[in-house]
Amino acid sequence: MYKFPKDSKLNDQEFIFGVATASYQIEGATNVDDRCPSIWDTFCAKPGAVYKQHNGDVACLHYHLYQQDVNLIANLGMDAYRLSIAWPRIIKPDGSINQKGLDFYDRVISALEEKNLTIMVTLYHWDLPQYLDDDGGWLNRETAYKFAEYAEVFSAYFGDRIDFYATLNEPWCSAFHGYRDGKHAPGIADDRSAFQACHNLLLAHGLAMPILRKNAPNSKHGIVFNFTPNYPANDSAKDVTSFADDEHTHWFIKPIMDGEYPKTVYQHYIDVMPVIGDDDMGIISTGIDFLGVNYYTRSVIDRDGPYPNYKQVNLSDVERTHIGWEVYQDGLLKLLTDLNQAYKLPPVYITENGAAADDHLVDGAIDDEQRYRYYQKHLSSVDKAIRKGVDVRGYFAWSFMDNFEWSEGYKMRFGIVYVDYKTQKRIPKRSALMFKEFLNSRQ
C-alpha cells in the first residue's frame, strides 16, 4: 500500500486520485457509428511509422466495454477519471454533428456519474480528424477555429456534467513529435512547421476557453502540458540547460500565463518563427482555472557546439523503465517548485504520471514491482511539493489500463490494470491493488 506521512495532504479526501486514458489509445471501434478517420489511423497505416504497424482499430475495445471499465475504476476506489473525447466521433467531414458520437460519451459519462466519479475530459488528445489534416491540419490557422466549434458542440451538450475540461493534451507532443521530429502523426519533420503548429494549437486553446466558460460556468477549465525538466550534465552546461527549459517548457506555458513566448528561443529560431496575429497572445493568455501537469522523467543535457546548442546525454548508471526513461522522482519536485516560482499558478493537477513495464501474467497475477515503487516515489515528490507551497490538488495515474502506446504500439504497457489483448480481459496489477488499499484506508 502507498504510504505518506501522517499529516500529508495526500491522505485527505479532498485530494483527488484518478486514472487517465485517451480515446484513440483505448476505444477501438474506429469504423463504428460514423466515426471518421483521424490522423492516427492514417499514420498507423504508413509502413515503419508505428511498431509492427499496430493501430487503434481494436485497442481495448473500450467503446463496447466501457461499463465494465467504469465499474473497475470505481472498484479500485478512485475518485476521478480522466478521459479524452474523439473529435472524429463528434464532427462529421461536412461540419455537421454526429449524434451517435455524443450518445456514446453520454453513456460513458452517465456510467461515471452513477459511480460518483469526478470527470475530467480532454477535448484533444491527438486524434485530429483526417479531413482537417487534408486542409493543412495544425499548420492551418483555420483548424484552431474548427477546434473552437467542436468545443462549442461538446460543451453545449454536456455543460456542467463534466467537472474539468482540458482543452489540449500535451501540445508539445502534437507540435514537436507531430511536426518537428515526425515521430507522431502527421509525421512531418520541419522546424518552421513545428512552431506554427504549436502557435495554432495554443490559439485553439485560447479560442475555446471563453466558450467552455459560457457553456459550463460551474466547471473548471484548463490545459495539460508535458514537462521534462532539463538537468546539466556538468557546470558548463548550465546556460544551455536553461535555454532547453525555455524551448520545451516555457515556450508552452509562458504564452498561457504571461501572453508571450520566451525571447531567448524566439531570437534563436527567428527564421522559423510562426505567423502571430495581432490579438493572438491576448486570446492565448485568457487565464486558466487549473494547470494539468504530465511528468514521466527528466532530461540530462550537455553543450553541443556554441551556445545555445545542446544534446541529450544518456547516463548509464541510472534506473530506467521499459521504454528507456530514467526513473527520477526529484525531477517532479523541482519542476513543480520551479513553475510555482516562475508563474502565478492556478491549482495544479498531476494529470499523468506512470511507468512502462514488461509485465507478465504469472499464475493469474501481475507483480509490477518497479511500477508500484515508481508511484510511491513520485507521490512522495508530490507530497514534498505541496509542503513547499505548490497547490497540487489531484493526481492521475497513467494509465488506467494497458493500451495503444502511439508509435510504440502495444509493446509498451503503462496500465495499472493489465489487458490481455486476446481475450480483452482486464486484470488489476499489484500497483492497482496498492492504490486500492491506500484509497480505501483514507478517513
* Least distance between ligand FCB and beta carbon 135 (Å): 25
Is the Cβ of residue 24 or residue 237 nearer to ligand FCB in the bound state?
24
Residue of 16, 22, 216, 240 that binds ligand FCB (CB under 6 A)? 22
- 414 is an interface residue for ligand FCB by CB under 6 A: yes
Interface with ligand FCB by CB under 6 A: which range of 52-60, 94-102, 309-317, 398-406? Answer: 398-406
Cell of 167: 482543452
402 contacts ligand FCB (rule: CB under 6 A): no
Position 49 contacts ligand FCB (CB under 6 A): no
SS3 2: coil
Query: Considering the rule CB under 6 A, would residue 246 count as an interface residue with ligand FCB?
Result: no
The strand pair at 417-420 and 425-428 is best described as antiparallel
Output the smallest distance, CB 398 to ligand FCB, in A.
5
According to CB under 6 A, which one of 41, 127, 280, 352 is a site residue for ligand FCB? 352
Nearest CA to 4 out of 331, 326, 385 is that of 385
Q: DSSP E strands: which ranges in 375-441?
A: 392-398, 417-420, 425-428
Q: Is 352 a catalytic residue?
A: yes
Active site residue 14: no
Q: Report the distance separating Cα 83 and Cα 173, nearest Å.
A: 18
The verdict on 169 binding ligand FCB (CB under 6 A) reads yes
245 touches ligand FCB (CB under 6 A): no
Contact 298, 233 (CB under 8 A): no
Q: Are the C-beta atoms of residues 4 and 383 closer than 8 Å to each other?
A: yes
Among 69, 79, 170, 246, which residue sits at the site for ligand FCB (rule: CB under 6 A)? 170
Q: Least distance (Å) from ligand FCB to the CB of residue 175?
A: 13
> Measured from the CB of residue 122, what is the shortest distance to ligand FCB in angstroms?
9
Q: What is the largest CA-CA distance in the chain?
A: 62
Nearest distance in Å: CB 227, ligand FCB: 11
The dihedral built from the CA positions of residue 292, 294, 298 and 304, taken in this order, carries a sign that is negative
Residue 215 or 351 with smaller CB distance to ligand FCB: 351
Catalytic residue of the set 27, 247, 352, 405: 352
443 touches 11 (CB < 8 A): yes
For residue 25 the three cell numbers come to 489509445
Contacts for 275-280 with beta carbons within 8 Å, 24 or more apart? 275/141, 275/196, 275/199, 276/199, 277/141, 277/203, 280/199, 280/203, 280/206
Only segment of 167-175, 260-268, 325-333, 359-367 that touches ligand FCB (CB under 6 A): 167-175
CB 351 within 8 A of CB 20: yes
Contact between residue 255 and residue 281 where contact means Cβ atoms under 8 Å apart? yes
Stretch that binds ligand FCB, among 140-148, 165-173, 329-337, 426-434 (CB under 6 A): 165-173
Catalytic: which of 27, 170, 247, 405? 170
Given 406, 410, 435, 438, the residue binding ligand FCB (CB under 6 A):
406
Q: Which stretch binds ligand FCB (CB under 6 A): 169-177, 180-188, 360-368, 374-382?
A: 169-177
Asked whether 167 and 212 are in contact (CB, 8 A), the reply is yes
- Is residue 174 close enough to count as binding ligand FCB by CB under 6 A? no
Residue 219 interacting with ligand FCB (CB under 6 A): no
Q: What are phi and psi of 51, to 5 degrees?
A: -45, 125
Q: Give residues in contact with ligand FCB (CB under 6 A).
A: 22, 25, 169-170, 173, 226, 294, 352, 398, 405-406, 414
Residues assigned a catalytic role: 170, 352
